[in-house]
Structure 1
Amino acid sequence: MPASRFGRQTGKRTSHRLVVDELGQAVVSGEFAVGDILPGDLELAARFSVSRTVLREAMKTLAAKGLVLARARIGTRVLPRPKWNLFDSDVLTWHFNAGVDEGFLRHVCEVRLALEPYAAGLAARRATDADIARMMRLAVAMGDAEHSAQTLAQADLEFHLSLLEASLNPFMHTVGSLIEAALVGVFRRTSPSDDGSEIDRVAMAHIRIVEEIGRRNEEGARHAMEHVIRVGQERLLLNLKAQAAS
């Protein structure tokens, strides 16, 4: 393993969190391939300047995320990707840090299409007036011309999590929180922060969702949400292709 990623160059950052992040990122990025056996405890403990106790706890964390499996007399092996917990925020963050492909982004959008339009319909049926007022404030705030890509992504995330909460189905909000890292990654890649007219268009599309919810129009709310997700997906894939061509 390259010394530039591990060991002494990490300085004083020798916590459990550092070990988990560094090893998790190395696995997800393919630095450790599926089926590889990780270096032994003594080698990794020396590279990170941590105790074997800290290292073993980090390995337990990675195992809980489905990335690795420790076996006596064999070592810690990287598990196949279908075993990985993609609803884990760390695993999702490591994916986006490593660079995601078109297939991965399509899968994220498919999950959103399966979840958010239905949640919008539930919100049209159940949301309180206070819920609707809050969502409208968040949607209008998305039209602020001063947004950077990062702040617009955060505003977008806050709107969508607020809508999931307004569905009054606790599972909806929990699943949204689980895929929060994926939503942030998607929103940052679709935020039109350099185009004022496009920011206005995005804000108006979200305002339309709230308007349909306010009318208690379940079908309209579902369609409005689906439109937002599909348009975002198209922009996302165009951005990805542009990056690949540059």
Structure 2
Amino acid sequence: MIDHTPLEETRVDGIDGESQRQAKARPRVMMDITAAIASGIFSGRYIPGGTLPTENDLGVEYGVSRTVIREALKVLAAKGLVVTRPRIGTVVCEADNWNIIDPQVLAWHAPHALDDTLFDAILETRRAIEPLVACLAATRATLREIADLEAAWQGMADAGDDLIRFAQSDILFHRILYGACHNPVFRQIGGMIDAALTFALETTATISSDRRTEAVHAHREVVEALRIRDGEAARRAADRILDLAARDLASAKQRGRDGQP
């Protein structure tokens, strides 16, 4: 859905207010259109190997200019989702070409991915990396990072039945943890996992309060391991978090198969 929230106006000499508003709105509108076309690809509306509607037709469908459509298609092409071919048009790429570890691509894909293997693959990736990230963070995290991690954990603990606050605090916890390992490659991978975790937590938001309590306890164990600089304890606690994540994802998939919310 395109966000039509009015933008704050800032005057620039020689440019009228309406032109300024259009100039400011264009990047936001372009990204909204990019996300909408990407959603069409991931939902199966536009299939790999097939062609997208023409720029004119897309412009009419979304109510924007050809310039906006052209800019959106350039973004999708850079991320491996489409390719422009002479005399054919814009073709949807095969899934193997999609830059699936790009956080933005992952965010577009996630709402359509619960029934495929994407989240299983991400969970496998987390199992391979996250325990090591926690272990490294136990020896490398600064006192400020440990304090920030504890504050994120406290947000989870205090969330109660506020599922949005719980999810936001959980996401923040993992973002801080990946940064605290002070490995720039893992930090980049953490960006991908952050995007996946955002949707995964929304998907599993209906888990029981008992299960959320288990998650809070497991995250607390990570904090305590970092506090005492115990890498192996941090590794075990991260494994425990991933076990709980696998269980909750399996439950969410089962609810989806059963037609439950």
**Band of TM-score, shorter chain:** 0.7 to 0.9
Shift of 1:84: 0.7
Greater CA drift, 50-59 or 99-108: 99-108
Is the contact between residue 192 and residue 199 of structure 1 (CA under 8 Å) also seen in structure 2? no
1:186 aligns with 2:200: yes
- Aligned partner of 1:239 in structure 2 is 252
- Aligned partner of 1:65 in structure 2 is 79
Shift of 1:198: 3.1
Shift of 1:229: 1.0
Distance 1:238 1:194 in 2: 11
Q: CA, structure 1 residues 83+130, in 2 after alignment: closer, same or farther (shift >3 Å)?
A: same
Is the contact between residue 119 and residue 167 of structure 1 (CA under 8 Å) also seen in structure 2? yes
- Unaligned regions of 5+ residues in structure 1, if any? 6-12
Q: Which SS does the other structure have where 1:142 is aligned?
A: helix
Shift of 1:40: 1.6
Q: CA RMSD in A?
A: 2.2
The percentage of counterpart residues that share the same residue type is 33
Choose from 41, 45, 52 the match for 2:55.
41
Distance 2:238 2:156 in 1: 15
Is the contact between residue 28 and residue 91 of structure 1 (CA under 8 Å) also seen in structure 2? no
Is the contact between residue 126 and residue 168 of structure 1 (CA under 8 Å) also seen in structure 2? yes
Which of 1 and 2 has higher RCO (CA within 8 Å, sep 6+)?
A: 1
Q: Which amino acid aligns with 2:213?
A: D
Shift of 1:147: 4.1
Distance 2:77 2:186 in 1: 26
Distance 1:178 1:156 in 2: 15
- Aligned partner of 1:203 in structure 2 is 216
1:91 aligns with 2:109: no
Greater CA drift, 98-107 or 198-207: 98-107
- Aligned partner of 2:11 in structure 1 is none
Shift of 1:114: 2.0
- Aligned partner of 1:146 in structure 2 is 160
Distance 1:25 1:180 in 2: 19
1:80 aligns with 2:80: no
Q: Which SS does the other structure have where 1:70 is aligned?
A: strand
Q: Which amino acid aligns with 1:224?
A: A
Choose from 235, 239, 248 the match for 1:226.
239
TM-score (norm 1): 0.87
Is the contact between residue 83 and residue 90 of structure 2 (CA under 8 Å) also seen in structure 1? yes
Is the contact between residue 111 and residue 199 of structure 2 (CA under 8 Å) also seen in structure 1? no
Greater CA drift, 17-26 or 40-49: 40-49
Shift of 1:172: 2.1
- Unaligned regions of 5+ residues in structure 2, if any? 2-24
Shift of 1:99: 4.5
Q: What per-residue deviation string (whole Å, max 9, x for no partner) do you get for residues 135-191 of structure 1?
A: 122223211253422221111000011111111122222221233221111122334
Is the contact between residue 113 and residue 119 of structure 2 (CA under 8 Å) also seen in structure 1? no
Distance 1:138 1:53 in 2: 42
TM-score (norm 2): 0.82
Q: Which SS does the other structure have where 2:158 is aligned?
A: coil
